[in-house]
Chain A
Amino acid sequence: MNNRTTTAASERVAPIGAMGGPSLRLPLTLIAAAIVFVAGAVAPSHFAGDFVLRVANEGLLLGMLALSVAFLMNQAGLVALGAASIYGGAGLLFAIAMSEWNLTPLAALCAAFLIIVVYATVLGALIVRTNPLAFMMLTLAAGEMISHAVMLEALRDYTGGADGLAVSFKGSIFGMEAADFANPARFWLVMWVAASLAGLALWSVGRSRLGAILRAVRENEERMRFSGFDTYLPRLIAYVLVNIVAAVAGLLHVLNAGFVSPESLGISVSTNALVAALMGGIAGSVGPILGGLIFSFAQDEFGARGLTQLLTGIAIVVFIVVFPRGVVGGLSGMAWLRTLSGRRERS
């Protein structure tokens, strides 16, 4: 400690969130992302048929849900098993608002969104204080509670019970009519934009100061408190943010399907999202969305063979063994790709 340097340390360090790296890396990444975005928006509707686009749309919906699950896992170290209650809940509320409250489509959409976000905020306020295991179990309990409440006979007039609710609306939402949402090619464009924006938003949050605080809290909550940080509020904000993404996905789902079933609130949707996130990789925004697409196409293929559950189980095991950090994590770890992208291991 005697041999102190006199050079100002801050002159040689990158700001938090930038995480170093060659100065050209970010612009190149943004250019590549822009090209992928434009190509992804235009190409599929020209080259793929309606059936493939339908499966792809389901994949992007699941990818958005997986994105919300992955962000919370990666940034806050919290595993949520109740994502479907927000996803399906938003759709169900929209259907109820349309059929029971006689709202315009846009008003119903806003009402459903606001109610589900308030619910997520209240639930988050109660559960984000707990340890990760308790958090996981509480999200599961809350999700199951909602999915069973929907099936109650007393609420059947509102929720449709096991039959679910059909949604039809006249007029348009943001210039799109019901037929446009049902059209696979047009809906693909909507989904592609929505998934990209959700990915970009969560990626930005991850690189922001909030992201840095979340990761530090995940790693050493006690030290964060001893550094003067409130560790509760950042986690609550993260929980609400990911549920906003899940709610948007749920609303898009019901607009596309024109129907909301009680299954969309169930544990299987939540676990599918978790599996999709793990398959794609939880470290960024691309992985979960890619995982959603892979999962969706795989389910379709397995379903055609009549062995959906068996083959899905085998595929999950193989994927997680071969790509423990997900497809994107596995690919980014390959030496030739690292060289191509100019990434270097810091000493």
Chain B
Amino acid sequence: MLKVENLSVSYGSVRALSDVDLEVLGDGILHGVIGPNGAGKSTLLDAVCGRRRPIAGTVRYRNEDITRRSVAWRRRQGMARSFQRTSIFQDLTVHEQLHLVAQHLGDDRLDDVIEVMDLTGYLHQKAGRIAYGVQRRVDVALALIGRPHLLLLDEPGAGLSAAETLHLFEHLRDLVRERKIAAVVVEHDVDAVFACCGKVTVLDLGRHLATGSPHEIRADHRVVAAYLGTAA
């Protein structure tokens, strides 16, 4: 589904990602990306979705090199993302924004998304006036419209409690499994990632450190030393 090879991204003279590889299969499992602050997790998602252009490396999506493709083109091909800072339309009602995007992407199953993200009770409210946790769900709902093949979720649990984050992750895990789609989730809450992701990639200082099952990652001494610490 997604294959990232030797991806490098710079912010001016600062190298944020160096030769990172990532492979995500469309097998209905959540693929978590973890790492300390500044590891390059969000930058990786930015480069994959086209928000930031890499200085080297390739992004292949469904066997096609899409490294130079626009954000809108990637979205129309089924690559969707949510943002670390909630990115919704504050002045539109929940329904207006979901309907607008569904209409554009030709998705006639908006009800499914509304129901899955439990937004039925908020449809007539302006998004700027609803609780932050619900706004996060609207953010994810916007990404789910159009039946995407690949979901890129940047800290969907940001601003939520540990219990809410775990709940959201369980929900995403079931959704991805049901729809047999690929999903990459960047998250700081390692408990939620280990509980719900089938595969985990660890980044550190812009470099790929390890990829494996949660069990393998917990046992990897490099990951323990760089990120998890001995208590993990």
Contacts and interface: CB of A to CB of B under 8 A. Distances in A.
B104 A9 contact: no
Contact of B123 (A1, A6, A9, A212): A9
Interface string B72-101: 100110001101000111111001110111
Interface in A205-239: 209, 212-213, 215-216, 219-220, 222-223, 225-231
Contacts of A46: none
A4 interface: yes
B171 interface: yes
Interface stretch (B112-120, B188-196, B221-229): B112-120
A15 B145 CA distance: 17
A209 B103 contact: yes
A20 interface: yes
Q: Interface range on chain A: under 10, 10 to 19, 20 to 34, or 35 or more?
A: 20 to 34
Nearest to A222: B87
Given A7-B120, A209-B103, A216 B97 contact: yes
Interface in B93-140: 95-97, 99-101, 103-105, 110-111, 114-121, 123-126, 137
B87 A216 contact: no
Contacts of B214: none
A322 B92 CA distance: 27
B169 to A, nearest CB: 11
A229 B105 CA distance: 9
Given A219-B90, A230-B72, A16 B115 contact: no
Contact of A1 (B87, B88, B117): B117
B96 to A, nearest CB: 5
A228 B124 contact: no
B91 to A, nearest CB: 6
A8 B91 contact: no
B183 interface: no
B202 interface: no
B120 A227 contact: no
B142 interface: yes
B118 A227 contact: no
A1 B118 contact: yes
Nearest to B77: A228
B49 A229 contact: no
Interface residues of B, number: 46
B104 A15 contact: no
Contacts of B105: 227-228
A5 interface: yes
Contacts of A230: 72
B120 A228 contact: no
B24 interface: no
A3 interface: yes
Given A1-B167, A13-B124, A228 B104 contact: yes
Given A13-B124, A346-B124, A347-B125, A8 B171 contact: no
Given A5-B115, A226-B75, A216 B100 contact: yes
Contacts of B146: 228
Contact of B92 (A5, A216, A225, A231): A216
A230 B90 CA distance: 20
A104 B89 CA distance: 51
Nearest to B152: A226
A12 B90 CA distance: 21
Contact of A215 (B72, B91, B117, B168): B91
Interface of A: 1, 3-10, 12-16, 19-20, 209, 212-213, 215-216, 219-220, 222-223, 225-231, 346-347
Q: Sort A-B residue pairs by CB-CB distance and give the 10 closest, nearest first.
A: A228-B75, A9-B114, A1-B118, A13-B95, A227-B101, A228-B76, A225-B71, A223-B87, A5-B120, A16-B99
20 contacts: A1-B137, A1-B171, A4-B116, A6-B115, A7-B120, A9-B95, A9-B120, A10-B111, A15-B99, A20-B124, A209-B103, A212-B100, A215-B92, A216-B92, A220-B90, A223-B89, A226-B80, A228-B101, A228-B104, A346-B124
